[in-house]
Amino acid sequence: MTFETDYLVIGAGASGLAFADELVRRSDAHVTLVDRRDAPGGHWNDVYPFVRLHQPASFYGVESIELDRGELEASGPNAGWMSLSEGPEIVAYFHRVWREKLLPTGRVRFIPMSEAEPGDAPGPVTVRHRLSGERTSVTVRRKVVDAARFTNAVPATHQPGFEVAAGVTCVPPNDLPRRAAGFGHHVVLGAGKTAIDALCWLLSHGAPASSITWVVPRDSWFFNRAKVQPTMAHFDGTFTSAAEQREAMAAATSVRDLAQRMEACGAWLRLDRSIEPTMFHFATLSEGELGLLRRVGRTIRMGRVTAVERGRLRLQRGEVEVPSDSLFVDCTASALSYKPPVPVFAGPRITIQMVRIPQPTFSAALTAFLETQPGSDDERNACMRPVVMTDTVDDYPRSQVTDLANRHMAARIPAVRDWLARSRLEGFTHLLAAIGPGDVARQAIVQRIRAASPPAFENLQRLAAATRGASA
């Protein structure tokens, strides 16, 4: 089999869909999406049922369809804050994007259950169907788009990196609602967003705090949800915090000092104030969620798990006993993958990467927008330097240097500036653009952010260089 297309997009997850959505809206291109999975939406198709976004839904998904229901969270530890969307809603949303936006154009094809290797375009790319083994040769007239470079690992699809002894029940969080009631004790493995969701689920569904053990390989800094509320109703709190964060970045004498300043101004949170976190994955948490987590009966900080056995946990720094009727919940999949950055625009290939952190879908949509604009790859790449995802807090200044440099360069291109001022996925700029010149109080907040930005950028460069030097 053979066919032709203008753009072959490898990966129909949130990134591939956000790219395709913006591209077909702004051009007459024909787009083919190919994915190993059977439906669009990427890893969201395999997530646990009680997953939620950790950022407001108002700036997640694709540019053309709102995901947010326009309501505040009505109950639970995030009550009162902007809606986060639940897993089934997110999956249904991406299926809707396909059915209602992409398919009706007549210019988008989806090839499910198939694998493609990013080849060179223009030229044929081979797509192999995973069930039939059948091969399709796709002639790509314009570009191959790699939207799968940062394919997420989720608990339901990853292979745990520890041994599970015979007779022990160790499940992904997908099974928690079904299995939890059959066990007297629950041991949650991992300290990322998934583990936090599992613990909050257990505690808010009646599991006694004393029946929970939490294995925390590393403590993390979190963004405070209260400070990430991009609506006019929360304008003052959100943007005053942005100003305070820039001022902290400008004044910090070290990464440690920066973290303490971020905490002092309420922008960052941590689980235990007596422990200095090393991890930083841009997770966002509310004080309500933190309050629940602090109730957990037993927290074990002895490194990563190496083996789970009946009544026993083996860890990098020793072993501990746990009740023999424990259900182990594997939340150790690392959604994030670390790959070296490559240019986003490189001749016949586009490689989707984060150019604003932590905003993968915004980054993909901006990539598509720039693709439809005149200009060379070099001109486009000038405001599209990939921001490498952080692992530790020491990585934070570097990520911010690239992020701020991209913002600065983007603002110099009038078409991009206009696009940003209207972009739903960017989340914040359209709010700034909406304040009138007579709104003196809010203009003062904006002015404070502007004034702090150049010294913040300069100081972050120094902090980034210092951490690079220390790790060399």
Q: Which long-range contacts (CB under 8 A, 24 or more apart) does 400-409 make?
A: 400/249, 400/357, 400/456, 400/460, 401/457, 401/460, 401/461, 401/464, 402/357, 403/356, 403/357, 404/453, 404/456, 404/457, 404/460, 405/457, 406/355, 406/356, 407/356, 408/457, 409/382, 409/383
Q: Tell me: does residue 21 bind ligand FAD (CB under 6 A).
A: no
Q: Tell me: does residue 199 bind ligand FAD (CB under 6 A).
A: no
Among 155, 173, 360, 386, binds ligand FAD (CB under 6 A): 360
Give the CA angle between residues 17, 22, 28 to the nearest 5°: 110
Residues 25, 63 contacting (CB under 8 angstroms): yes
**Token pair listed for 144:** 């191959």
For the bound state, the minimum distance from the C-beta of residue 142 to ligand FAD, rounded and expressed in Å, comes to: 19
For the bound state, the minimum distance from the C-beta of residue 130 to ligand FAD, rounded and expressed in Å, comes to: 9
Running DSSP on this structure, what letter comes out for residue 438? T
In terms of CB distance, is 197 or 371 closer to ligand FAD? 197
The one segment of 34-42, 132-140, 177-185, 273-281 that binds ligand FAD by CB under 6 A: 34-42
Quick note: the x/- pattern for ligand FAD over 156-195, rule CB under 6 A, is -------------------------------------xx-
Among 5, 32, 55, 299, binds ligand FAD (CB under 6 A): 55
The number of angstroms, rounded, from the C-alpha of 363 to the middle of its chain's C-alpha atoms is 11
Among 64, 105, 139, 151, binds ligand FAD (CB under 6 A): 151
What is the spatial distance between Cα 216 and Cα 300, in angstroms, rounded to a whole number?
Answer: 6
Among 29, 53, 144, 269, binds ligand FAD (CB under 6 A): 53
Among 5, 6, 15, 224, binds ligand FAD (CB under 6 A): 15
For the bound state, the minimum distance from the C-beta of residue 85 to ligand FAD, rounded and expressed in Å, comes to: 8
Among 32, 152, 390, 453, binds ligand FAD (CB under 6 A): 152
- CB-based contacts of 58, cutoff 8 Å, min separation 6: 66, 67, 68, 82, 83, 230, 231, 424, 427
In terms of CB distance, is 147 or 191 closer to ligand FAD? 147
Binding to ligand FAD, residues 307-346 (CB under 6 A) = 335
Q: Tell me: does residue 230 bind ligand FAD (CB under 6 A).
A: no
The one segment of 72-80, 148-156, 204-212, 372-380 that binds ligand FAD by CB under 6 A: 148-156
How many C-beta neighbours within 10 Å does residue 441 have?
Answer: 9
What is the spatial distance between Cα 49 and Cα 47, in angstroms, rounded to a whole number?
Answer: 6
In terms of CB distance, is 38 or 257 closer to ligand FAD? 38
Helix (H) or strand (E) holding 281: strand 279-285
In terms of CB distance, is 313 or 420 closer to ligand FAD? 420
Report helix, strand or coil for 139. strand
How many C-beta neighbours within 10 Å does residue 104 have?
Answer: 10
In terms of CB distance, is 35 or 330 closer to ligand FAD? 35
Interface with ligand FAD: number of residues (CB under 6 A):
32
In terms of CB distance, is 43 or 227 closer to ligand FAD? 43
What is the spatial distance between Cα 406 and Cα 76, in angstroms, rounded to a whole number?
Answer: 37
What is the spatial distance between Cα 176 and Cα 200, in angstroms, rounded to a whole number?
Answer: 12
The one segment of 14-22, 183-191, 321-329, 406-414 that binds ligand FAD by CB under 6 A: 14-22
In terms of CB distance, is 326 or 358 closer to ligand FAD? 358
Q: Is the dihedral of CA 33, 36, 41, 43 positive or negative?
A: negative
Round the CA-based radius of gyration of the chain to a whole number and report it.
23
For the bound state, the minimum distance from the C-beta of residue 234 to ligand FAD, rounded and expressed in Å, comes to: 17
The one segment of 101-109, 167-175, 357-365, 455-463 that binds ligand FAD by CB under 6 A: 357-365
In terms of CB distance, is 85 or 299 closer to ligand FAD? 85
Residues 211, 181 contacting (CB under 8 angstroms): no
In terms of CB distance, is 176 or 464 closer to ligand FAD? 176
Q: Tell me: does residue 129 bind ligand FAD (CB under 6 A).
A: no
What is the spatial distance between Cα 453 and Cα 196, in angstroms, rounded to a whole number?
Answer: 33
Q: Is the dihedral of CA 212, 215, 216, 222 positive or negative?
A: negative
For the bound state, the minimum distance from the C-beta of residue 115 to ligand FAD, rounded and expressed in Å, comes to: 4
The one segment of 22-30, 35-43, 132-140, 413-421 that binds ligand FAD by CB under 6 A: 35-43
For the bound state, the minimum distance from the C-beta of residue 119 to ligand FAD, rounded and expressed in Å, comes to: 11
Burial, 79: exposed, middle or buried (Cβ in 10 Å; 0-12, 13-18, 19+)? exposed
Among 5, 9, 16, 464, binds ligand FAD (CB under 6 A): 16
What is the spatial distance between Cα 370 and Cα 381, in angstroms, rounded to a whole number?
Answer: 9
Residues 148, 11 contacting (CB under 8 angstroms): yes
In terms of CB distance, is 242 or 352 closer to ligand FAD? 352
Give the CA angle between residues 391, 41, 80 to the nearest 5°: 70
Residues within the interface to ligand FAD (CB under 6 A): 10-11, 13-16, 34-37, 42-43, 51, 53-55, 60, 115-116, 147-148, 150-152, 154, 193-194, 335, 358-361
